[in-house]
Amino acid sequence: MGYIQDLGRKAKACKNRIATASTMEKNDALMEIAYVLRRCKTEIIEANNIDIQNARARKMSESLIDRLALSEDRIEGMAQACEKLVSLSDPIGEVVSGSVRPNGMNIRKVRVPMGVIGIIYEARPNVTVDAAILCLKSGNCCILRGGKEAINSNMILVELMRKAVSCAGLDADIIQLVSNTDRELAVDMMRANDYIDLLIPRGGARLIKTVVQNATVPVIETGTGNCHVYVDQSADLKMAVDIVDNGKTSRPSVCNAVETCLVHKSVAEKFLPMLKARLDEHNVEIRGDEMTAYILGKENVTPADEDDYATEFLDYIIAIRVVDDFAQALEHIERFSTGHSECIVTESLFAATEFQKRVDAAAVYVNCSTRFTDGDMFGLGAEIGISTQKLHARGPMGLTEMTTTKYLVTGDGQIRE
């Protein structure tokens, strides 16, 4: 039996137990995980430091190392995510709808777990905890396959979580890690239809494309984030600077970071110098069109091409384009957006309404940062990722999105004529 098949067999053996676990049992396990994360933070950071040293030896960019790094604050954040999930309602058993048919037959549509969920992700060890605890609370088993960059961090996190759920009386195999980083095993996961009910890739465009193209297991695509802010002609320019700066520099390595700023030509000469002054505080590289270079000076702007407008930089780089009007901004977004998060800064109710109506993305903002596209910020607790597809789930995927439904039908002898 192959490595992935062995993990799948263990998951299938205990999936009915976690699917029928009480809310109290699952919450107890979550509290045990929160406790052990706090108690063992020194060991976690020591393992994480090995991954960071290896990453620097491979000359990984500092923005990607930021995604990899675990601090006491980030570990505390993971522990708090467990506690937040405890406070949220258990979706399992929720009656979505119901009816009594004319023949007296009672039909209820209820939420149930997916079963065994596989998650393939990159160098973000916090995803290891987020994915495991979301699967746990929603009654699912999980098989986690993180990137080799975070293997030491992931191994200790999974070891601690498995001990915690065992202490709470649940089977440790509801949480499993693919500890062998051979890429062929990732392909095996993508095709393990007999064991994995759903596969979720979380990472960059290359990873997601690979999973979508190779998987035979059903996939929920968590898309890349080529996110835009459009500064309309009626915008409060100080607000616009704050929103673009926050979207670009607060954490550039995440999928809800701003990658392109579109500016209406009537405000460009006033706005762009204001924006550059703020971005200069973080040494952000500006890649812009001819008008942007004219306003800011050619020495301050790298000429932008179509690849720049199509790129999720995940770094201290921003693309800027001056547009003629609202319609041109919409055309640009339609062409280059990945359907993640898009924002307009405007004082016009008409422009705000039309933008939210016409832009096709998982989250469409008016006058607030795209950085809010996050399960915690939306009140969902931890998230498994941001879905940019339209089937089953779209946007931040919290507890509800980790479930499916089934119909419970009760009668008293009805037969179909």
- The domains of the chain, with CATH numbers, are 3-222+384-410 (3.40.605.10), 227-372 (3.40.309.10)
- The structure's pTM equals 0.85
Mean residue pLDDT across the chain: 94
- Assign 202 a pLDDT band (cuts: 50, 70, 90): confident
Share of the chain above pLDDT 90, in %: 83
- Assign 284 a pLDDT band (cuts: 50, 70, 90): very high
The per-residue pLDDT for range 14-65, each reduced to its tens digit, is: 999 999 999 999 999 999 999 999 999 999 999 999 999 999 999 888 878 8
Number of neighbouring beta carbons within 10 Å of residue 125: 31
What pLDDT score was predicted for residue 65? Answer: 87
What pLDDT score was predicted for residue 1? Answer: 55
Mean pLDDT of 108-124: 94
What pLDDT score was predicted for residue 113? Answer: 97
Mean pLDDT of 390-404: 88
Using the Cα atoms of residue 33, residue 36, residue 41 and residue 45 in order, give the sign of their dihedral: negative
Side-chain half-sphere exposure of 383, counting CA atoms within 13 A:
20
What pLDDT score was predicted for residue 207? Answer: 85
The per-residue pLDDT for range 328-369, each reduced to its tens digit, is: 999 999 999 999 999 999 999 999 999 999 999 999 999 999
Name the token pair of 170: 């649940």
Helix crossing, 237-249 with 265-280: angle to 10°?
A: 50
What pLDDT score was predicted for residue 183? Answer: 85
- Assign 224 a pLDDT band (cuts: 50, 70, 90): confident
Helix (H) or strand (E) holding 371: none
The per-residue pLDDT for range 238-278, each reduced to its tens digit, is: 999 999 999 999 999 888 999 999 999 999 999 999 999 99
Q: Is 219 exposed, middle or buried (0-12, 13-18, 19+ CB in 10 A)?
A: buried
> Helix, strand, or coil here: 261?
strand
What pLDDT score was predicted for residue 221? Answer: 81
CB distance 214 to 189 below 8 Å: no
Number of neighbouring beta carbons within 10 Å of residue 6: 12
